[in-house]
Amino acid sequence: MEEQLKDIKMPKTKRGLITFNKIIKAAEKLFGTKGYYNSMINDIAYKAKVAPGTLYIYFPDKYTLYCYLLTQYNHHIREYISSRVKDCTTRKEQERVGLLAFLEVIKERPYMYNIIWESLYIDKNLFVDYYESFAKRYVRNIESSKANGEMKDFDSMLVSYVLMGISNFVGLKYVMFDESKKSSDIDLEKIADEVIEMLEKGIFK
Amino acid sequence: MEEQLKDIKMPKTKRGLITFNKIIKAAEKLFGTKGYYNSMINDIAYKAKVAPGTLYIYFPDKYTLYCYLLTQYNHHIREYISSRVKDCTTRKEQERVGLLAFLEVIKERPYMYNIIWESLYIDKNLFVDYYESFAKRYVRNIESSKANGEMKDFDSMLVSYVLMGISNFVGLKYVMFDESKKSSDIDLEKIADEVIEMLEKGIFK
């Protein structure tokens, strides 16, 4: 993915940054609602209220703009979770707060699933890289928790995909599917607590 | 989804069934590789070696053909898993064999994820229905295992999404991402065993 990003010209002025951000926001909204294939560069420019030519100052094409957005999501999710878990003192607490942070971050950006998963249809390698890069960091984390005696000795890669699967599908259900329910009806804290209890005590009797 | 399916004319002759199946197979291949939006009715007819008019005998449009395929996947996955778990005597064994059966079924049909998840971009309700209908059955199952003392008293809906998340992401990693590895290098039995051990004993120390 880094390959594509080198063709982006980042804005050098404050004014440029404002324009750049308007483009990103418009692309996010259009990719998220109409999808990548149904969103044209001209539509994005129109929605961002910039000339199509302006868009090409920063991005050589729609694909690069999409890759930029995907990378931003990856960074944003990681940074948000890191900042939330930094004061946790146990692995279990880290997983609980990390899951909660993930649910919060997708709640705040409702198009996130659509945009991330559409990579599977745009370029499968983007999709694979997206999850494999998450997993790689997760594995390092799990390895150190195994080393300091906080986690059992399961295969770290398998554990990372188990945990990512849980977060993603719990998010699907309680953030995306149930979005029409009143926020007060969905207690993300309680959900995270219960998932961690399952991961601690197991689900079978 | 049932609504769309009533517009399908099922074949009445053996010859018709052969043609119908050729269309389904071609659609599966095209949707799975080029995606729904990049696959036209004419492309599907061409690949199935039938006249485009023939395709319209059975399906009023591409959308209905897609819905049919999605419903077939849903049935196929459920039936395959049911047939595999029917002789299991404990809940834990059911989950183990069920996970293994899920991994086998996606291995046998490599386009399954692409086609199922693309529903999110075609009609979000299809995607929601797909997982909610799976979850509904899972919940009934979990409820009865809780009642007979085989599962702990967690929220059944939450447990169902946790388990679906695990299956789907373990499948992504070990079937879809690692498809280029030799089959002999990936031991799905061992993966299923280890996941069930996590679900039994928990992952924390």
Answer whether A164's CB lies under 8 Å from A131's CB.
Answer: yes
Which CATH number does the domain B2-64 belong to among 3.10.20.30, 1.10.10.60, 3.30.70.20, 1.20.1600.10? 1.10.10.60
Give the per-residue pLDDT at A5.
Answer: 86
Q: What angle separates helix A156-171 from helix A124-147, to the nearest 10 degrees?
A: 120
User: What is the pLDDT averaged over residues A168-184?
Assistant: 83
Q: B38-89: per-residue pLDDT in tens? A: 899 999 999 999 999 999 999 999 999 999 999 999 999 999 999 999 999 9
- Chain B residue numbers touching A167 (CB-CB < 8 A): 165
Rounded to a whole number of angstroms, the distance from the CA of A116 to the nearest CA of chain B is 12
Kindly identify which residue of chain A lies nearest to residue B162, measuring between CA atoms: A166
> Which residues 13-42 of A have a C-beta within 8 angstroms of B?
35, 37-38
Residue A147 tokens, joined: 């080393």
Q: How far is B18 from chain A (nearest CA, A)?
A: 30
| pLDDT of A3 higher than 80 | no
Beta carbons of B7 and B63 less than 8 angstroms apart:
no
Interface of A with B in 168-197 (CB under 8 A): 168-170, 172-174, 177, 191, 194-195, 197
Is the separation of the CB atoms in B186 and B161 below 8 Å?
no
What pLDDT is recorded for position A183? 61
Average pLDDT over residues A34-52: 94
At the topology level, CATH places domain A65-201 in: Tetracycline Repressor; domain 2 (1.10.357)
For A121-151, letters b (16+ CB in 10 Å) and e give bbbeebbbbbbeebbeebbebbeebbeeebb
Q: Which of B160, B198, B201 to mutate to test the interface with A (most CBs of A within 10 A)?
A: B198
ipTM: 0.94
Which pLDDT tens digit goes with each residue over B158-185? Answer: 999 999 999 999 999 999 888 767 666 6
Is the Cβ–Cβ distance between A5 and A58 less than 8 Å?
Answer: no
CATH of A2-61, one of 1.10.10.60, 3.60.15.10, 1.10.1060.10, 3.40.920.10: 1.10.10.60
- Residue B183: predicted pLDDT: 61
Per-residue pLDDT tens digits for B18-37: 999 999 999 999 999 888 98
- By the CB < 8 Å criterion, does B152 face chain A? yes
Interchain proximity A172–B131, CB inside 8 Å: yes
Flag if A165 and B169 touch (Cβ within 8 Å). yes
